[in-house]
Structure 1
């Protein structure tokens, strides 16, 4: 569906994207994960032709090479690419129905047909009873639902989401993610999500691409990254309880299979003669599987033996700051 090769982008001599190579599979929900300023939103704008990029780069979407398109052809291409934004980007003077009708109006669809389709789209996102409301009368979650309906108005093959839930409270954000999941499952539309939130990619994405300082570090399922290269996800160790006593060292351990937990803890207890403490445990449910995470406290004399065991058994861990 989307193929990117040797894509680079600079502003005033500053490299924003550096030799990006990425394939996004048709029908998948793909996350672009990275900190603010990593370049993920710029990459998204390259995918829909809003940003120009280096002549050596190539972006192909649905077998269309973007770099070869004329202005008229590029406008026609964008007809098949929907987009939703963090700030909703609704027209304040128009009703929800009129906002959804707007893309179809721009493409000169018949008024009767577009009203029927717009109402159908509002119904599909649970907003048919708010058709005559203006954005000022809607909550943040309701505005985003209208924005999603508008993005689907021209029956796009790709839906691009730029921090679509970051301005919403957790419960509302989950409802929007559930809606996007439903749309993906029912229509098979390819969804690309830009986000800095681990919870978003864990909940909805089939695969993610980790972007750091303009470079694509890795593309894989979130479970595979958590259990093989957790250091790629700095937020993994954030907000974990670290209550260490003097001469203790904290380790965050990630397991691909919860069934491994008992054997691991028994082995570590044997190695340390029952001197480890389990400070924290949780299981993360990702779209592609469940990951178990532990924070343990180890006495300094036992640290080397514990690390040796973890490395020998290819168990991923991070040393936590005290």
Structure 2
């Protein structure tokens, strides 16, 4: 059994804004959500399976603030590290921001992850970020800003705002799933890097569990990352399925670059893919998955320095 399991917990896909870059939604998919009592029981089950960290994500969790507070209480009771991923809509004024952060802290939240991008700015004011960070500092809540970017010149202004404000932020590459599929992709040339991925599992509101984040649910041609539904399987079995899968472990250790090279991709092509794009290119093909499954313990495993 893993000594430290983490999971992204999709309580609801409902969001109060419609960002053009969102990977968790598209125009044809209605919002889905869990029942609170079911979610509380699931957290107990996850804790029993040695999960030590839960990140509440999917749509906008804090639309359901009271529900999230109840779930945080369960996390605290079971000694789980908790994170909430939010767009910061609730920080429209300093007072409202303080009230929200105070409630989250009192109910045991460990960390706040605030999403920010030029797409968010079409719906929310930058002052929301200022108020949210100020409240986190006031109530000693750990935070960071997830700055979603396609690394274009258009992102220089929002990034400079974060730097000028001395906020703690980390650039997060745009993933071209969901609504983001409609966005144009700039040409890139990366270093010839391993492109490993830790692959923390994701639990959807429908109780589908995937071996990777919610982008993993988008591999609809192969269903490569789908582990099963918690209505049909115990959570421990699905964690073990993820942890014992040879190809998943090669993604974690060998990385996508060497897997692509093994398949015959030339190096000049490999450096034109973002990590998640390369993953989809390889593993959203059922034929390729079948081949790699057959060769994972021999030829592929030997493709190393």
Asked if these proteins are the same fold (TM beyond 0.5), I'd say no
- Alignment TM-score, normalising by the size of structure 1: 0.34
Q: Which of 1 and 2 has greater Rg?
A: 1
Between structures 1 and 2, the one with greater strand share: 1
